[in-house]
Amino acid sequence: MSKLKRKDYEAALESLQHELIEAQRWLMQQGKRLVIVFEGRDAAGKGGVIKAITEQLNTRGYRVVALSKPSEREKSQWYFQRYVAHLPSAGECVLFDRSWYNRAGVEHVMGFCTDTEYQRFLDQCPGFEKLLVDDDILLIKYWLTVDQKFQEERFAERANDKAKRWKISEIDVAARAKYAQYGKARDAMIARTHSPQAPWFLVDFNDQRRGRLNLIRHLLDWLPDRKVPDQYIKLPPLSGNPRKETLPRKALRVKDVY
C-alpha cells in the first residue's frame, strides 16, 4: 500500500477534527469521562496521533498524561495509585501517552520490576479496568503496531534531527536490540488484559498518516451517540469605530523582528 499523500491526509484530518470538536462538546455537556490509552513500540507514533486528536480541541476539556519514571515514594505505593490521580473528572478526556501498561512492557522487558510484580500486575489489571468501566468511565485502549524496518527509519530520522533528538532516550537505544522480546511481552499482556469491558484495538502505524486517520475514525465511531446541537453565535455590531489598543507605559515591549 502506497504512503498517504500529505494533501489527502490533511483534508481527511480536518474533517475528523471537526467531529472531534463535536465529540468533546458532547463529553462536556453530558459530563462524561473518557480515558484513551496509547501504547506501542518506541517511535510508533503515539505523540503524533495525540497531537492530531487534540490540535483543535478546547484545552480545558482534555489532559495529556505522560508520566516519567516513578519516584521512590511512588514505588512504595500500590502500582496503579499514581495513575488513579490522573483520571478524568466530569466532562474531561485524558489521553495516556503510555500508561499503567509500562509494567507489562518496558519494566518487564528491561528488568525494572520483579517477576512477582509483573505477574501481580497482570492479575490485577483486568479488575482495575473493570472498576473504571463500572464507574461509567469510557475506556479505550490502542496498541500502535510498527515493523522494525519503519521503527529503525524513524530512529535514524530522530537521531539526525536536532528538533527530534530529545525523543530518543537511553532506554530507547537499549530497547532496539529487544524487538522480539517486546513483541512477546505485548502478546502476553494482551492475552491477559483483553476483556469485553476493556478490549485492545491494534492499529497499523507503518504509515503514520494513515494510522492516525484510522485510529481517529475508529475512536469517533466507538463513542456513543454524541450529537449535540451546535449553537450559532451571532455577534452584535460594534458601536462606533474599532479602537486601537492603548498600551501601558510601564511594561516592556518585545521588539518586532519579523
Task: Output the domain CATH number for residue 207.
Answer: 3.40.50.300
Output the pTM of the full model: 0.91
Q: Is residue 234 part of a domain?
A: no
Q: Is residue 10 part of a domain?
A: no
Report the phi/psi class of residue 152: left, alpha or beta, with left for phi > 0 and alpha for psi in -120 to 50.
Answer: alpha
Sign of CA dihedral 215, 217, 222, 224: positive
Q: How confident is the model at residue 245 (pLDDT cuts 50, 70, 90)?
A: confident
Q: Is residue 118 part of a domain?
A: yes
Q: Is residue 127 part of a domain?
A: yes
Distance CA 17, CA 246 (A): 37
Distance CA 191, CA 125 (A): 12
Whether the pLDDT of residue 1 is over 80: the answer is no
Q: How confident is the model at residue 9 (pLDDT cuts 50, 70, 90)?
A: very high
Which residues, other chains included, contact 225 with Cβ-Cβ below 8 Å and sequence gap of 6+?
Answer: none
In 3D space, the residue among 69, 64, 72 whose CA is nearest the CA of residue 37 turns out to be 64
Hey, what's the cell of 230? 451546535
- The pLDDT of residue 39 is 98
- The pLDDT of residue 244 is 86
Q: Is residue 237 part of a domain?
A: no
pLDDT digits (tens, 9 = 90+) for 77-94: 999 999 999 999 999 999
Q: Is residue 144 part of a domain?
A: yes
- The pLDDT of residue 38 is 98
Number of structural domains found in the chain? 1
Give the residue numbers spanning the domain of 205. 34-222
